[in-house]
Homo-oligomer: A and B are copies of this chain.
Amino acid sequence: MALLVQKYGGTSVGSIERIEAVAENVIAYKEQGNDMVVVLSAMSGETNRLLDMAQQISPKASGRELDVLLTTGEQVAIALLAMALEKRGHAAKSYTGGQASILTDSAHNKARIKSVDNQKIRQDLDAGYIIVVAGFQGVDEESNITTLGRGGSDTTGVAMAAALNADECQIFTDVDGVYTTDPRIEPDARRLKTITFEEMLEMASLGSKVLQTRAVEFAQKHAVPLRVLSSFKQGEGTLIISDNQTDETMEQALVSGIAFNRDEAQLTINGVSDTPGVAYGILGPISDANIEVDMILQNVSADGTTDFTFTVNRSDYENAMTSLKKTAKQLKAREVSGNNKIVKISIVGVGMRSHAGIATRMFEVLAKEGINILMISTSEIKISVVVDEKYLELGVRALHEGFDLKSER
């Protein structure tokens, strides 16, 4: 008998019918002999409805009161699911974040979980209850209601699994797992049976938003086995595991997937005198304007000046350019240029750590298709290239084929 924590997102509980379907799904697992803890998001649309009311009153509502308001969304969902479970003859008990003793810091709207007291839930599980926990919420030491910020329900799921030492934390989503790449671009994309936490984090940060990065980090830290499944379709989904859990077979997979990000824009400042502090001088004003920078490249020059390139989210391009032009004047730079028609394509895989030649193979594949690489950036388990946006689909498909991802590992 296992202890499972299952988390269902907003669309999975988006209507009375969907909630009834979740109840059926949970009961199926329960009747296989598992102890069940279910974590829910608010019904889809509800959070926006509440935010809209807050917005009508005050666009600058305090974090504390926003949290009091928003947490009602999950509270409605847990009560309704508990009712649906009871109707089917199963003892169920709902827990708000406070009732589940999910203790957080006091950073309203983006609180971090400090501890979870599992004692009461453990007792109720022993008594045969299915436990339904409100995701996204907790309380601080003063019993103020807090929320965990975007994707917080995933984090609640992982935190409950860690506190209860669950056998698995199952995240039910719109998709049936993590794919080698986006199937809308490459129809041959294949669902991965397993992926490591590190690979998952790279995939997520590169735009494959199946799971919230924070939840993955949390699961990795507490060694919680995490599985992504579809709440609309039967299947095993994808299991996310620690690097040291990978078996022989898996080690031979050099590349696990191809990620990409369409929302990129690149800015370059040429001919800056190459003195200490120049990077700070260029990027300081950018971050002061609340613009997040992704890739950063600096080339060595022979003439005592340097060229400096970075990428930002495409929606920040105009603001970043205005800021950079001001900086260029101050630094007496030669020129400023930019391009907001670019995309980033990355290959991700823990296997590439110990294998040279992966980068070479990637560049070879792209060269064969005549795709010009504008920027390159590498990490231990990822290689990213920036290319003209018109090459996105071609590049992804070529790499998927080039690294033989459609075959079963």
The residues of A with any CB-CB pair to B shorter than 8 Å are 16, 19-20, 50, 53-54, 56-58, 60-62, 64-66, 68-69, 71-72, 75-76, 78-80, 82-84, 86-87, 92-94, 96, 98-99, 143-145
Q: Which residue of B lies closest to A84 (CB)?
A: B57
Cβ–Cβ contact B86 & A62, under 8 A:
yes
Cβ–Cβ contact A86 & B65, under 8 A:
yes
Q: How many copies of this chain does one complex carry?
A: 2
The 10 closest A-B pairs by CB, nearest first: A69-B79, A72-B72, A68-B79, A58-B87, A61-B83, A65-B82, A65-B79, A16-B56, A57-B83, A72-B75
Query: Which B residues are in CB contact (< 8 Å) with A62?
Result: 82-83, 86
Cβ–Cβ contact A143 & B99, under 8 A:
yes
Chain A contact residues: over half helix, strand or loop, or mixed? helix
- Distance in angstroms from A131 CB to nearest chain B CB is 13
26 A-B pairs in the complex with CB atoms less than 8 angstroms apart: A16-B57, A19-B57, A50-B76, A57-B84, A57-B87, A60-B87, A61-B83, A62-B83, A64-B82, A64-B93, A65-B79, A65-B80, A65-B83, A65-B86, A66-B83, A68-B78, A68-B82, A68-B94, A68-B96, A69-B75, A69-B79, A69-B80, A72-B72, A98-B98, A98-B143, A99-B143
Cβ–Cβ contact B76 & A75, under 8 A:
no
Query: Which B residues are in CB contact (< 8 Å) with A68?
Result: 75, 78-79, 82, 94, 96
Q: Which residue of B lies closest to A67 (CB)?
A: B79
- Distance in angstroms from A50 CB to nearest chain B CB is 7
Q: Which residue of B lies closest to A61 (CB)?
A: B83
Q: Report the separation of the CA atoms of residues A92 and B64 in the bound assembly, to the nearest whole angstrom.
A: 10
Q: Report the separation of the CA atoms of residues A62 and B85 in the bound assembly, to the nearest whole angstrom.
A: 11
Query: Which B residues are in CB contact (< 8 Å) with A98?
Result: 98, 143
Query: Which B residues are in CB contact (< 8 Å) with A82?
Result: 62, 64-65, 68
Query: Which B residues are in CB contact (< 8 Å) with A93?
Result: 64
Q: Which of B53, B75, B84 contacts A58 (CB 8 A)?
A: B84
Known: A16-B56, A58-B84, A87-B58. A94 touches B65 (CB 8 A): yes
Cβ–Cβ contact A53 & B80, under 8 A:
yes
Query: Which B residues are in CB contact (< 8 Å) with A76?
Result: 50, 53, 69, 72
Q: Report the separation of the CA atoms of residues A99 and B16 in the bound assembly, to the nearest whole angstrom.
A: 30
Query: Which B residues are in CB contact (< 8 Å) with A143?
Result: 98-99
Known: A53-B80, A66-B79. A86 touches B58 (CB 8 A): yes
Q: Report the separation of the CA atoms of residues A64 and B83 in the bound assembly, to the nearest whole angstrom.
A: 9
Query: Which B residues are in CB contact (< 8 Å) with A60?
Result: 87
Known: A16-B56, A54-B80. A61 touches B75 (CB 8 A): no
Q: Which residue of B lies closest to A68 (CB)?
A: B79
Q: Which residue of B lies closest to A101 (CB)?
A: B143
Q: Which of B19, B57, B145 contacts A80 (CB 8 A)?
A: B57
Q: Which residue of B lies closest to A91 (CB)?
A: B62
- Distance in angstroms from A100 CB to nearest chain B CB is 10
Q: Report the separation of the CA atoms of residues A79 and B19 in the bound assembly, to the nearest whole angstrom.
A: 27
Query: Which B residues are in CB contact (< 8 Å) with A80?
Result: 53-54, 57, 65, 69
Q: Report the separation of the CA atoms of residues A43 and B69 in the bound assembly, to the nearest whole angstrom.
A: 13
Q: Report the separation of the CA atoms of residues A71 and B94 in the bound assembly, to the nearest whole angstrom.
A: 13
Q: Report the separation of the CA atoms of residues A20 and B16 in the bound assembly, to the nearest whole angstrom.
A: 32
Q: Report the separation of the CA atoms of residues A16 and B57 in the bound assembly, to the nearest whole angstrom.
A: 7
- Distance in angstroms from A3 CB to nearest chain B CB is 22
Query: Which B residues are in CB contact (< 8 Å) with A66?
Result: 79, 83
- Distance in angstroms from A222 CB to nearest chain B CB is 26
